Amino acid sequence: MDDLAKKFESEIITKGKEPVTKKDCIFCKLSKGEIPTTILFKNSEVTVFYDHKPAAKEHLLIIPNSHHGNAKTLKKEDLPMVEYLHAVGQGVLEQKGGSIDDARSGFHWPPFNTVDHLHLHILYPVSEMKFMGRQMYRNNSPWFATYEWLIQHLKDLPDAPSQNPSKVRAPSQEADEVDASGESGSGTAI
C-alpha cells in the first residue's frame, strides 16, 4: 500500500484544498469514514473500495473524495481527474494480482446510475463474469460508458463549458451491434 501511496501522491483533484463534500451523499460520507466499509486505498484525492453488489470476482469502485456529479456532467477540464481515477484503480487491481487486460472499466450513464457521485467501476476478471453482470456492465450500452469512451468524449467536447448536460448523448446512440455473448464491439464514436 505504501508503494501505491507514493506512486499516486497528487493534488490533481483537490488542488491542495480540503475535499468539497455533499452532506447527503453516501459516497462523500464513505470517503470521510462516516460509513464503514473495507477501504482498499485512500489518499487525499480518491478512495477505492468494493462495490456492495459485485458483478465480478473483483469489483472495485474508485471515487474522488471531493463530490463530483455523474459522468454525464463532466467537462473537458475534468479529463485529468478521470485519467487519475483509472490509474489508481488499475494500480489497486494490479496490487491485488489482477490485470487490466481482463478488466472492464467504466461509468454508469444517467439515468442508470444509483449514486450521483462520480465513481469508476473496475470489474475483474471479465472472462468469468456471469450473464447478468455482462449485461449490466456492457460496453457502451445506454447505461454504461467505458473509460475509453468517456476519455474520447471529454477530448471531443468544446473548450468552453457551454454544453448543456441534458443534451449529451448516451454512449450507445451510435453503438455497434451486440454479438451473441451480449458484448458490444469497439464501441461508439460521438
* Catalytic residue set: 119
CA dihedral of residues 153, 5, 22, 154 (deg, nearest 10): -10
Burial class (CB in 10 A: 0-12, 13-18, 19+), 68: buried
**10 vs 92: CA distance, rounded Å:** 16
